[in-house]
Amino acid sequence: MQSGQAIIDTNLYLSRWPFRRLYGDQPQELMAKLRLMGVVQGWVGSFDALLHRDIASVNARLVEDCRQFGAGLLLPFGTVNPRLPDWKEELRRCHEDHRMQGLRLFPGWHGYKLDDSEAAELIALATQRRMLIQIVVQTEDERTQHPLVQVPNASIAKLPALLRSISDLRVQLLNVRTPLQPLLKELVKAGSVYIDFAMVEGVHGVKRLAEMVGTDRVTFGSYFPFYYFESALLKVKEAELDPATVLQANARRLLGDLR
């Protein structure tokens, strides 16, 4: 199944999910799938960022894989963990050395809240560098998590206050589930917040999301290779949203605002 239109996928991953192998967890497989589906740009993080403590090496490998296999299509989004030593230097490397346009943060996996002092400082400093902040709300359904690795969802309850306190902050929320949707209306009123729909389920789930936050705040995210790419395309079709807006224009505007 192809969309027939060019796609910017804002929620992709390289490397391997820690708990099972996935089709597409090899760079060559991932790139073949993206080309088949008509993806012209992919924003990609690394699954290694979840558990590896050497974040600098994770980011360096991500950049090299994007360079070697991405053929100009993949944009690396690095990770900075404010709970680790020297995180400010890693932020500098992501921006100055790796030329990353954004960060992908994992508060649930890394054990912090968005309003913790270090996390708020990280977000503020990255915003000063004109970097887009992606916040991963969830990576896996709670019911299927490994019993020894129970990861809480990231709380976004304090995000409206951050949006009001940090000038020019732009945020994209990844893997938002349907129960969080009522808070999203408050978030989009508070500032520049965009939402992908990879984990939005249910009949007309994406349509209801667009009605709540506005179609101009909904971005395409497949969460491939963890999810089937085709499921994201089916959601766009089922929601009867304007494909050009959701598949590409919103993402271009979000990154374009940051350049």
Task: State the CATH number of the domain containing residue 117.
Answer: 3.20.20.140
Mean pLDDT estimate for the chain: 93
The reported pLDDT for the residue numbered 5 is 83
**Both tokens of residue 244?**
């050009």
Looking at per-residue pLDDT, the higher value among 64 and 1 belongs to 64
The reported pLDDT for the residue numbered 1 is 53
| Residue 183: pLDDT band with limits 50, 70, 90 | confident
Classify residue 28: in a domain, yes or no: yes
Classify residue 2: in a domain, yes or no: no
The reported pLDDT for the residue numbered 181 is 65
Domain of 109? 7-256
Classify residue 214: in a domain, yes or no: yes
Classify residue 111: in a domain, yes or no: yes
21/226 Cα distance (integer angstroms): 9
* Angle value at C-alpha 44, between 166 and 216, nearest 5 degrees: 55
**Average pLDDT, integer, range 211-229:** 95
Q: Domain count of the chain?
A: 1
Classify residue 1: in a domain, yes or no: no
Classify residue 29: in a domain, yes or no: yes
